[in-house]
Amino acid sequence: MPDQSVKRLDRTGRIELWGHFGYNSGRCRNKERGKIGKMKDVVLNTDLKSLKLFKRGKVRDIYDLGDKLLIVATDRISAFDVVIPSGIPQKGRILTALSLFWFDFCQDIIANHLIPLSLTFLPEQERKLLEGRAMLVKKANPILVECVVRGYLSGSAWKEYQSQGSVCGIKLPPGLQEAEKLPEPIFTPSTKAQTGHDVNITFDELQNLVGAELASKLRQVSLKIYLKASDYAEKRGIIIADTKFEFGTDEGEVMLIDELLTPDSSRFWSKEEYEPGKSQPSFDKQFVRDYLNGLKWDKTPPAPELPPEVIEETSKKYREACNRLLDRG
């Protein structure tokens, strides 16, 4: 029962459900409602002295704990693949809350990498910094493909369809419009490029990379998760146009890793504003994109700072997505 677990998450907090430190403590909740320290409370960067850095992504700082990883979602935001120097208040906490929710929501479909969080090994100050934005996970062997599922025709899939009538080798009916809902969701994997953009691959290519059995499992599980989650989100006014999953193996078991169904790993659209036939506004990043598109910036680093009103509007959209999906009033 997803609704039950949402309410438990919301009212009794993370500690009881997963043992994650400080999730939804009173202070954090007030901040989420925008009452205290909204603009000041931004974590752009973490530098945990006692831990070894595993990787700094565009948004997350990941620390190596031997057989585990500590994934810390900062308030960094990227646009056009470039990290913006301004942070978005609460973004890291929202990404973490959403991932935790969806991992729980999808447990009946597949296991995931989460382990109950205890940060007692960190000094008090660092624990406070991580409040609500950390996940402790099993270190898995990542399967080096991005498992993309698309329910709507957008982005690189729209481009590929226009020139070839198919997406990742999947033939689609003629005459589809941009952003149109597909007859059924499709699985369009891509390679995980170390540098540059990921490259779409066909299912045959995926089979060559990971083997036929695992390829089938990845497709089946990805489509199942998408169907369950997109149905849930749509009832709350959010269209999940497409999303990306990552999987890993741990002692032979396939599990979901990374983040799950966040605005950073998915395209969220507002159901009310949805209008096929054109590019859709992004639920969360549109203010940032519109602002940056209005500047004479060539979309290469360094990116410009965002003005306070763009930061606030964007933070509001992230909060709205989170509140809708987690049934917070």
Ligand X SMILES: Nc1ncnc2c1ncn2[C@@H]1O[C@H](COP(=O)(O)OP(=O)(O)OP(=O)(O)O)[C@@H](O)[C@H]1O
How many Å is the Cα radius of gyration of the chain?
A: 19
Q: With respect to ligand X, which residue has the nearer C-beta, 98 or 179?
A: 98
When binding is defined by CB under 6 A, the residue of 57, 155, 237, 304 that contacts ligand X is: 57
Q: CA angle at residue 93 from 87 to 95, to 5 degrees?
A: 90
When binding is defined by CB under 6 A, the residue of 91, 138, 319, 324 that contacts ligand X is: 138
Nearest approach, Cβ of residue 16 and ligand X (Å)? 23
55 binds ligand X (CB under 6 A): yes
Number of residues in contact with ligand X under rule CB under 6 A: 17
Nearest approach, Cβ of residue 148 and ligand X (Å)? 13
Cβ atoms within 10 Å of 289's Cβ, excluding its own: 13
> Which tokens hold the place of 116?
């109950």
**Which stretch of DSSP H or E encloses residue 84?**
strand 82-84
299 binds ligand X (CB under 6 A): no
When binding is defined by CB under 6 A, the residue of 136, 140, 238, 292 that contacts ligand X is: 140
Q: Is-contact 100 114, C-beta < 8 A?
A: yes
114 binds ligand X (CB under 6 A): no
Cβ atoms within 10 Å of 308's Cβ, excluding its own: 10
Residues 264-293 close enough to bind ligand X by CB under 6 A: none
Q: Is-contact 167 161, C-beta < 8 A?
A: yes
248 binds ligand X (CB under 6 A): yes
Q: Is-contact 32 43, C-beta < 8 A?
A: no
**Which stretch of DSSP H or E encloses residue 218?**
helix 212-234
When binding is defined by CB under 6 A, the residue of 33, 58, 236, 289 that contacts ligand X is: 58
143 binds ligand X (CB under 6 A): no
When binding is defined by CB under 6 A, the residue of 42, 43, 59, 325 that contacts ligand X is: 59
The C-alpha atoms of residue 325 and residue 299 are separated, in whole angstroms, by 31
The C-alpha atoms of residue 101 and residue 6 are separated, in whole angstroms, by 7
62 binds ligand X (CB under 6 A): yes
Stretch that binds ligand X, among 116-124, 136-144, 297-305, 306-314 (CB under 6 A): 136-144
Stretch that binds ligand X, among 4-12, 20-28, 137-145, 205-213 (CB under 6 A): 137-145
**Which stretch of DSSP H or E encloses residue 311?**
helix 308-325
137 binds ligand X (CB under 6 A): yes
The C-alpha atoms of residue 193 and residue 103 are separated, in whole angstroms, by 25
Nearest approach, Cβ of residue 314 and ligand X (Å)? 17
When binding is defined by CB under 6 A, the residue of 43, 69, 119, 322 that contacts ligand X is: 69
The C-alpha atoms of residue 267 and residue 200 are separated, in whole angstroms, by 17
Nearest approach, Cβ of residue 255 and ligand X (Å)? 8
Residues 151-190 close enough to bind ligand X by CB under 6 A: none
Residue that has been written with the tokens 């959209």 in this structure: 317
135 binds ligand X (CB under 6 A): no
Q: What is the DSSP letter of 258?
A: S
Stretch that binds ligand X, among 17-25, 55-63, 283-291, 299-307 (CB under 6 A): 55-63
Residue that has been written with the tokens 């990374």 in this structure: 258
246 binds ligand X (CB under 6 A): yes
Name the site residues for ligand X (rule: CB under 6 A): 55, 57-60, 62, 69, 113, 137-140, 142, 246, 248, 257-258
